[in-house]
Amino acid sequence: MAQGPTNFGETKHWLRTARTLTEALPYMRRYAGKTFVIKYGGHAMGDAELAEIFARDIVLLKQVGIHPVVVHGGGPQIGRMLERLKIKSEFVDGLRVTDAETVEIVEMVLSGTRSSPRSAPPAARRSGSPARTGT
């Protein structure tokens, strides 16, 4: 049998959670059955705690009826590879300018990590779901 909160701090936590869910309910209803495309960026991929939080959020979206599609970011990984190859990155208004040579490197970096179990958040690896690629 489930027990209730045992102290005031725990009670506050559950009240905050209930308030958040109450605020989110109209959005969960509005977007149930919709597909969301969500970028899993390179910075989050490099931090185990952020990766775990991201995975939990994706599971929550699925549980409330939203269909998340996760796409790979990888900017920092791409940047490191370009540096190693001594290829200068150019950015305009925060977006990488990608010439033909850079596209080859981007494809190499992303294809080398998108299906790798090591690049998946721990929660996703534990789920037993195989990674699927766009090919």
Each residue of 18-71: pLDDT tens digit?
A: 999 899 999 999 999 999 999 887 677 778 898 899 999 999 999 999 999 998
Comparing 88 with 96, the larger pLDDT belongs to: 88
Count other Cβ atoms within 10 Å, centred on residue 35: 9
The model's pTM: 0.55
Give the pLDDT confidence score for residue 133 in this predicted structure: 46
Buried residues in 108-134 as b, exposed as e (16+ CB within 10 A): ebbeebbeeeebbbeebeeeeeeeeee
Give the pLDDT confidence score for residue 12 in this predicted structure: 92
Give the pLDDT confidence score for residue 128 in this predicted structure: 44
CATH topology of domain 33-127: Carbamate kinase (3.40.1160)
Spans of all domains in the chain: 33-127
Q: Assign 16 a pLDDT band (cuts: 50, 70, 90).
A: very high
CA separation for the pair 49, 82 (Å, rounded) = 27
- Does pLDDT of 108 surpass 90? no
- Amino acid sitting at position 90: E
Give the pLDDT confidence score for residue 113 in this predicted structure: 54
Each residue of 59-90: pLDDT tens digit?
A: 999 999 999 999 877 788 888 899 999 988 88
Give the pLDDT confidence score for residue 42 in this predicted structure: 67
